[in-house]
A and B are shown apart, each in its own frame.
Chain A
Amino acid sequence: MVSTVVLDLVERLGAVSVGTMVEVPLHPGEADTVAAWCARSGNELVSATEDRAVVRRGRPAMAAFADNLSPKQRPGARLWLYTNFDCNLACDYCCARSSPKAPRRAIGVDRMRRLVAEAADAGVREVFLTGGEPFLLPDLDVVVRSCVDRLPTTLLTNGMLFRGTRLDMLRRMPRDGFTLQISLDSATAELHDRHRGSGTWQRAVGGIGIARAEGFRVRVAATVAPHEADTDAQAAFHQKLDGMGIPREDQVVRPVAQRGFATDGLALTVDTLLPEVTVTADGVYWHPVGADHDDQLVTRDLFPLRTAIEEVQRRLTEYRRTVAVGAQRFPCA
């Protein structure tokens, strides 16, 4: 019997507006034909099972979805690299469960160099290095150089270790194409120290001053729990940073994510979280807030990185499709 599924598709899709989905019954072996027709005709195959296919009229959701994102937001534009997981602090909201007791789990210079090279070839435009506390690594300056040689790079740190050999290491880091992002949660010590440890606020403020004096671009990022968010406190925070010479575009306030050590904060899942591809020594993850959580694991294979990035993009498309299908099938009125 000749398959007529293509005729059904042309007729059904032709009668609906762009964005509308139609369902066609399938006979064995017709799923490939539907996929081929969708690819050829510029329509989107939403799903195909043994006995039916769902097709949406118009271009695939990922293409349309990506068109509405800024270049920085597009999946695969930014790459996060967890240099290590051990830390000199044990912040009670740390999404990566880092602490002095955490095993190091470092990516290492060689893999880091290869990752960044592959990232640049795969269309990544910016790299972020985080931990743990990266300055615990003795070769961090080499790691930073290997990144900055290929892509603009930001290094996240608590800014507390700029002394002795680590200060020497900081001084060897490049100024161009490189930004230090130092954590500071509040304008005064109380809130910051409550979560990060006594005396940490003062040392972080000192670290900001050292980094600026050494000629680095410094971005300051606060992490604030929802129940502690306060507009007066936020205004005071910005005023404090203004006074330290940090431009407003380099003053960042972000919420605590309910991940890792945090018992409070934003609940984030892969289907509600725009991905930012994240690599640790253990694998590739959906987003840096989930880098120590299996639900956000994309693959254990770090290489080739392009494959992992494409998998993230594919999964995002799938999640968006699921949301759209659900929205279409379960209207609220």
Chain B
Amino acid sequence: MTTRPLIVGAVAYTPNVVPIWEGIRDYFTDGPAQMDFVLYSNYGRQVEALLDGHIDIAWNTNLAWVRTVLRTDGACRALAMRDTDLTFSTVFVTRPGSGLRDITDLKGRRLALGSRDSAQAAILPVHFLREAGLGESDVDLLRIDSDLGKHGDTGRSELDAIRAVLDDKADVAALGVTTWEAIGRDQLMPGALEQFWQSPTYCHCNFTALDTVPAEHTDPWVEHLLAMDWNNPDHRHILELEGLRQWKRPHLAGYASLFEAVKQQEIAAQW
């Protein structure tokens, strides 16, 4: 059994990523599986590093997970995710009085999408439109490609999509539910926006390891991760920064819609 620390990769999409991972690394210092971390500027670089064996575990978005599965023909596994990753969803918001009540009402309307590599704000919204019987030619899509490579983590493109609606450049904005929550839903901008549709839930991020990294190396790490406790102030500080209350075991069925969307939209498995 190796004594080498597991190397975990993450993408630096905000300065807070540094204290988050320093905190997680410190948490593992006295545990059964030590770790260190490496930060990447985008998910493409991180997945390449995982495939090349430079890192043992990648903190992947859902799109990075799908691409890792496609690149490895499934020779990888999800280790854990946040509780908040289990119930992610996309919401469609519009100006009050627009007359929109359901996703099917989008026919002939303008939809502002976030970055094209954002599952929640671009890929899955198009997928949900197709499921509702609306092709890309039925809806006028306004793509706002802010922060490409970050898979929508910064939320910037979603905020720009909202601005497009408020500026009457679009009728509807597609948002991850976390962005909708971050702006206070419809409560802090009264009369400005309303949600008229919410997607089924799907999974977002997970810790990904290749099958070449033995489970006997990752299992103690996962068990120690799952033991982080919201009621412990030291742990809670990290959990708050990372946006969860509890680490959970993965729920792979929650990625089915994204696998299907990537296939239908012919999104490349490689950057």
- Comparing A7-15, A174-182, A304-312, the segment that makes contact with chain B is A7-15
CA distance A297 to B179 in the complex (A): 45
Q: How far is the CB of A264 from chain B (nearest CB, A)?
A: 43
Q: How far is the CB of A61 from chain B (nearest CB, A)?
A: 16
Per-residue contact bits, chain B 1-26, to A (CB 8 Å; 1 contact, 0 not): 00000000000001110110000000
Answer yes or no: A4 CB below 8 A from chain B CBs: yes
Q: Are B163 and A7 in contact (CB under 8 A)?
A: yes
Q: Are A2 and B189 in contact (CB under 8 A)?
A: yes
Q: Are B241 and A41 in contact (CB under 8 A)?
A: no
CA distance A273 to B155 in the complex (A): 42
Q: Are A41 and B182 in contact (CB under 8 A)?
A: yes
Tell me which of A4, A17, A42 contacts B163 (CB under 8 A).
A4
Smallest Cβ-Cβ distance to B155: which chain A residue:
A14
Answer yes or no: B162 CB below 8 A from chain A CBs: yes
Indicate the size class of the contact surface on chain A: 20 to 34
Answer yes or no: A16 CB below 8 A from chain B CBs: yes
Chain A residues positioned under 8 Å from B16 (CB to CB): 17-18
Smallest Cβ-Cβ distance to B165: which chain A residue:
A2
Q: A16-B15, A17-B15 are in contact. Are A10 and B182 (CB under 8 A)?
A: yes
- The A-B contact count (CB < 8 A) is 57
Smallest Cβ-Cβ distance to B183: which chain A residue:
A6
- Comparing A32-40, A78-86, A146-154, A282-290, the segment that makes contact with chain B is A32-40
Answer yes or no: A3 CB below 8 A from chain B CBs: yes
CA distance A41 to B155 in the complex (A): 15
CA distance A20 to B19 in the complex (A): 13
Answer yes or no: B143 CB below 8 A from chain A CBs: no
Chain A residues positioned under 8 Å from B188 (CB to CB): 6, 33, 36-37, 40
Q: Are B19 and A6 in contact (CB under 8 A)?
A: no
Smallest Cβ-Cβ distance to A15: which chain B residue:
B14
Per-residue contact bits, chain A 272-310, to B (CB 8 Å; 1 contact, 0 not): 000000000000000000000000000000000000000
In this complex, how many residues of chain B approach chain A with their Cβ under 8 Å: the count is 24
Q: How far is the CB of B236 from chain A (nearest CB, A)?
A: 11
CA distance A41 to B189 in the complex (A): 14
Q: Are A6 and B241 in contact (CB under 8 A)?
A: no
Q: Which residues in chain B, 232-269, are within 8 Å of chain A measured between CB atoms?
A: 233, 240-241
Chain B residues positioned under 8 Å from A3 (CB to CB): 189, 192
Per-residue contact bits, chain A 45-58, to B (CB 8 Å; 1 contact, 0 not): 00000000000000
CA distance A15 to B192 in the complex (A): 24
Chain A residues positioned under 8 Å from B159 (CB to CB): 7, 10-11
Q: Are A11 and B156 in contact (CB under 8 A)?
A: yes
Q: How far is the CB of B44 from chain A (nearest CB, A)?
A: 21
Q: Are A6 and B15 in contact (CB under 8 A)?
A: no
Chain B residues positioned under 8 Å from A67 (CB to CB): 233
CA distance A28 to B162 in the complex (A): 21
Q: How far is the CB of A191 from chain B (nearest CB, A)?
A: 46
Answer yes or no: B99 CB below 8 A from chain A CBs: no
Chain B residues positioned under 8 Å from A7 (CB to CB): 159, 162-163, 183
Q: Are A18 and B184 in contact (CB under 8 A)?
A: no
CA distance A37 to B183 in the complex (A): 8
A→B interface (CB under 8 Å): 2-4, 6-7, 10-11, 14-18, 20, 33, 36-37, 40-42, 67
Extra inter-chain contacts (4) besides given A4-B163, A10-B183, CB under 8 Å: A7-B183, A33-B189, A37-B188, A40-B188
The 5 A-B residue pairs whose C-beta atoms are closest, nearest first, are A17-B15, A2-B192, A7-B159, A10-B182, A6-B183
- 11 A/B residue pairs, CB under 8 Å, sorted by A: A2-B189, A10-B159, A10-B179, A11-B156, A16-B14, A18-B241, A20-B15, A36-B184, A36-B187, A41-B182, A67-B233
